[in-house]
Structure 1
Amino acid sequence: MAEAGACPICGQPRHARFRPFCSRRCADLDLVKWLKGDYAAPGEPVDEGDLAGERSRGGDDPRR
């Protein structure tokens, strides 16, 4: 784990412009991790069948 004041991706000193990262590159690498689903909050497993049923009923989506 990076020390306080260090970029969480590479460990180099942080740059105020890209805080908490050191560069645009490290900020972009972090964004890619989020978009790929590498970061996830723990939770209960979701049954795919339950999701399909909600879609067909309209679920709680107020847009329907």
Structure 2
Amino acid sequence: MNVNCPTCQKSVEWSTTNEYRPFCSKKCQLIDLGEWATESHVISAPTNHSGAHIELDEEAIAAQFEQQSKPFFDES
């Protein structure tokens, strides 16, 4: 199966022999990593079914975590 490299759009075979998949080369892989690191690429905020952004109430989320009877990261 062939896919397009996300960076340069070159056609690339998607197989286990391609260590850079879905990229065509290490160079394109590093370019993409750099774009994430500089926040040129971001994951958008959650949206509802109409496409409007959902406002997250961080204080309410923090309060819910504080009310947990067992710590989230408890190792027992």
TM-score w.r.t. length of structure 1: 0.52
Return the match for 1:20 from 19, 22, 26. 22
More helix by share: 1
Match for residue 10 of structure 1? Answer: 8
Runs of 4+ in 1 over 4 A off after TM superposition: none
Provide the aligned C-alpha RMSD in A.
3.6
Larger-gyration structure (1/2): 2
**CA shift digits 1:19-59 (9 cap, x unpaired):** 1111123223434528x471347344321111221343347
Return the match for 1:48 from 53, 58, 76. 58
Identity within the alignment, %: 27
Q: Would you say how many aligned residue pairs link Structure 1 and Structure 2?
A: 61
Distance in 2 of aligned mates of 1:21 and 1:41: 26
More strand by share: 2
Unaligned runs of 5+ in 2: 48-53
Distance in 2 of aligned mates of 1:25 and 1:13: 15
Unaligned runs of 5+ in 1: none
Distance in 2 of aligned mates of 1:29 and 1:39: 17
